[in-house]
Amino acid sequence: MRRQSPALQPQPLPGAEMAARLGRRLGTARAALGLPSRRLAHPGARAQLQPEYDAVVIGAGHNGLVAAAYLQKSGVRTAVLERRHVLGGAAVTEEIIPGFKFSRASYLLSLLRPQIYKDLELQRHGLRLHPRDPYSFTPMLEARSPPRSLLLGHNVAETQRQIAQFSPRDAEVGEHRGGDTPHSWGPGLPVAPVPWVSGLSPPPGLVLGKQLPQSYQVLTAPISKVLDQWFESEPLKATLATDAVIGAMASPHTPGSGYVLLHHVMGELQGQQGAWAYVAGGMGALSHAIACAAAAHGAHIFTEKPVARVLVGANGAACGVALGDGTELRSRLVLSNASPQHTFLQLTPQEQLPPAFVRQVAQLDTRSPVTKINAAVARLPSFLAAPTPRNGRPLPHHQCSVHLNCEDMALLHQAFEDAGQGQPSARPVIELCIPSVLDPSLAPPGCHVVSLFTQYTPYTLAGGRPWGKQEREAYADRVFDCIEAYAPGFKASVVGRDVLTPPDLERVFGLPGGNIFHGAMSLDQLYFARPVPSYAGYRSPVPGLYLCGSGAHPGGGVMGAAGRNAAGVALQDFKQK
Ligand SMILES: Cc1cc2nc3c(=O)[nH]c(=O)nc-3n(C[C@H](O)[C@H](O)[C@H](O)COP(=O)(O)OP(=O)(O)OC[C@H]3O[C@@H](n4cnc5c(N)ncnc54)[C@H](O)[C@@H]3O)c2cc1C
């Protein structure tokens, strides 16, 4: 039986006739696509749980799977224990509305370290990408007909023409920067990513190279200040600023917001710096490829195996885990892909941890502004600024990140301010993506999956009120109203929706506070201080217990770096035991 998510709030169809029509269409499409009526077996599913392994990984997020693959590849007998019924953590594909496969949490790939593709032979294990060009579309709400829009892509001349609509001067700035990658249009333009940001090595002992002075301002400044130095047109600045506040309870005017932008442009796909792509089959297909690599080396991977406790021996070192059903597994290494809070405040016996460490973990900033909405639609949105042709075929902008309520920086700041008052933004910042435009396998013919990454929504509403069904639906309606203003007819095209507020993200994915990165990517919680100062090198106060997820350096995003680094550190210790 397929699980029905408690957060899923299917929206009534626009009318009985439409419902009947779509029902027939979806039923046929399901059969035509051969969609499974039950859960797919995952790689390594046939393995039998053993009482003893060399290493146990708690959680099958992409980082846990990466860690397992590297460990097993090095000859360390490894088991991965995932509490959910699917692999991938926040990098997952779920068919939450029949016939529609959603990248339910993360939805775009760029940051995965190239070394990991290579080492784990992810292409051989089935990973396929759909790169996007153009990649960003910002339609305007304005009285003129048609309204203007800003389309950014890899074609330099065309992108300059687009920018020149709003500022000829900004188009020239781009030209002087070389302007051949999305990365080059950003404020980090003259700045190569700082090597220790990209995080394939653990942070301690790093040399601060020549690039540091150049990078320092981008890392520490409010992104608004950096962007103001480069550009003058508001739509361009606001579009670029979205990557600086994504997932952060921060305004473009918040110091340190520059870092988050840098984090989002330091990826590289198929040799193209800063490029982002959809994963064929959704983000879960990436996790699946990593799991295949791990299983091919011999790792055992299990779902629906929640870990209840880390076992600590008389010598004070980790010696295995206990599952929720009481089963105990012995292992010399325990790596936790769960958040630092869950790992150290819930799974680890508290008497094994220094009280100061426990306090620091308890005080981590996990505020998050994100509500993710996944919508199934019966047709492509048609934007006023670039209407869809009658034949319904996608236009280039449909493959982009569509930025809504993004006309100027003041809108972004106001959306943030609302959340500070305990209110979901009146005009939320919306990043709308339609991966099925490039990957039709995700939805029945003619239909699409729409990913809506929205902010700002507080974890708790004004007056300490929790989110209830009514608040959740009201917020989703507000987001849909906003989309309707840019793309009339959108609301009527919606077949179903899945709304994940910060508490839902916490409950479904185990993300503390709903924070998409396991903890804020603020300057005080990065590098040498992630998750806390003195324990930034993946080890913990309990020998043999390691953190291998995004709560560790270099943080969130589908990067795999934390998993790979942690495996390296654990392996060193294993060899010395
Ligand atoms: C809505 C949203 C959108 C995002 N968009 C993007 C994007 O487009 N691109 C991008 O690069 N990043 C994006 N991110 C961030 C990125 O997805 C995460 O930072 C990353 O996937 C985290 O990976 P991880 O392996 O470190 O942890 P997780 O994916 O959180 O995995 C941890 C795993 O541990 C399991 N677990 C926890 N406790 C236990 C236990 N006791 N026993 C067993 N298992 C346990 C969990 O179920 C989970 O599977 C997004 C995140 C969210 C939430």
Running along the chain, 577 residues long, what does each successive block of 10 average in pLDDT? 33 34 38 36 78 98 98 98 98 97 97 94 97 96 95 93 96 59 35 38 47 73 91 96 93 89 78 88 98 97 98 98 98 98 98 97 96 98 95 95 97 97 97 98 97 98 97 98 98 98 98 95 88 93 98 94 96 92
* pLDDT value at residue 523: 87
Q: Which tens digit of pLDDT belongs to each residue from 450-468? A: 999 999 999 999 999 999 9
CA 66 vs. chain centroid, Å, equals 16
Q: Which two tokens stand for residue 504?
A: 């839902």
- Do 400 and 136 meet the contact criterion of CB atoms below 8 Å apart? yes
Atom 3 of ligand 1 has which residue's CA nearest to it? 106
Q: How far is the CA of 13 from the centre of ligand 1 (A)?
A: 31
* CA–centroid distance, residue 89 to ligand 1 (Å): 4
Centroid of ligand 1 to alpha carbon of 576 (angstroms) = 31
Structure confidence at residue 252 (pLDDT): 96
Q: What per-residue confidence (pLDDT) applies to 352?
A: 97
CA of 62 to the centre of ligand 1 (A): 7
Distance CA 505, CA 517 (A): 11
Mutate which of 106, 136, 545, 565 for ligand 1? The one with the most ligand atoms within 8 Å of its CB, which is: 106
pLDDT of amino acid 174:
61
Question: Does residue 168 have a cis bond before it (omega within 30 degrees)?
Answer: no
Burial class (CB in 10 A: 0-12, 13-18, 19+), 209: exposed
Q: How many CB atoms lie within 10 A of CB 213?
A: 9
- Residue 93, C-beta contacts closer than 8 angstroms, at least 6 positions apart: 101, 102, 103, 104, 281, 282, 283, 284, 285
Nearest residue by C-alpha to atom 27 in ligand 1: 61
Pocket residue to mutate for ligand 1, from 85, 516, 521, most atoms within 8 A of Cβ: 516
Ligand 1, CB cutoff 6 Å, lining residues: 58-64, 81-84, 89-91, 105-108, 111, 306-307, 337-338, 342, 370, 372, 453, 505, 509-511, 516-517, 549-550, 556-558, 562
CB 515 within 8 A of CB 366: yes
What number does the ligand 1 atom closest to the CA of 511 have? Answer: 30
Q: Which residues are bridge partners to 8 per DSSP?
A: 498
Q: Which of 83, 429, 507, 521 to mutate to test the pocket of ligand 1 (most atoms within 8 A of CB)?
A: 83
Look up residue 171 and give its amino acid: A
Q: Calculate how far, in angstroms, residue 458's C-alpha sits from the geometric centre of ligand 1.
A: 20
Whole-angstrom distance, CA of residue 52 vs CA of residue 37: 34
CA distance 207 to 195: 9
The answer to whether 236 and 163 are in contact (CB under 8 A) is: yes
| CA 446 – CA 156 distance, rounded (Å) | 32
Q: What would the two tokens of residue 340 be?
A: 């630092």
Buried b (16+ CB within 10 A) or exposed e, 299-334: bbbbbebebebbbbeeeebbbbbebeeeeebebbbb
Task: Return d(Cα 41, Cα 424) in angstroms, integer.
Answer: 39
Q: How far is residue 509's CA from residue 61's CA, in Å, rounded to a whole number?
A: 10
Nearest ligand 1 atom to the CA of 517 is 19
Element (H, E) at 230: helix 223-230
Q: Among 65, 102, 301, 337, which residue has the most ligand 1 atoms within 8 Å of its CB, making it the best to mutate?
A: 337
User: 405: which 2 tokens?
Assistant: 């309520």
- CA–CA dist 278, 135 (Å, integer): 11
Q: What distance separates the 2 farthest-apart alpha carbons in the chain?
A: 74
Ligand 1 centroid distance, CA of 502 (Å): 13
